[in-house]
Amino acid sequence: MNWRSLNGKYYEGPIEEILEEAIQREYNLGNQLKICVGTDSQVYKEKIEYATVVVVLREGRGGFMFIKSDKGHGPISIKERMLIEVSKSIEIAYKICPVLEKYSIGLEVHADINTDPQFKSHPALKEAMGYILGMGYAFKAKPDAFASSSCANKVV
């Protein structure tokens, strides 16, 4: 499935090209940027819907995002679903990393996993954190993981 914006515009081509065009446009406007990647999912009986977002933050000026949706099949455990979400985010982070390095833009990978042990997603925290940090990316979990827990959550 193609990437789209929140207002419904669809983009052709790989996310690396889409993002680089956006970065060039924003730099021409004088904006400083940071990129956050996150994924969220929703279970509907035997189907699981995933939404991965690339959030482009303009320092002090808001931001925008690119969205990619796909589906999976269940049933699977919540821990497995959380780790699939993280792997989808890392896959995109890996693809866009060369573009971000070219422009010296920071990248965070956000996991929709709660740091509070009382929540069902918590058992996946250590593995997700190790996976993300092991790949060399900055890691954020709830409540700081807005790309996954707010942005992706709104479009899944």
* pLDDT tens column, 24-52: 999 999 999 999 999 999 999 889 999 99
With CA atoms as reference, report the closest residue to 83 among 68, 72, 67, 96.
72
**Identity of residue 49:** E
The reported pTM is: 0.93
* pLDDT score of 1 more than 70: no
Buried b (16+ CB within 10 A) or exposed e, 66-76: bbbbeeeeeee
Q: Where are the domains of the chain?
A: 3-155
Tokens of 122: 């918590």
Cα separation of 155 and 88, whole Å? 16
CA of 18: how far to CAs of 55, 91, 117, in Å? 12, 16, 38
* pLDDT tens column, 121-147: 988 999 999 999 999 999 999 999 999
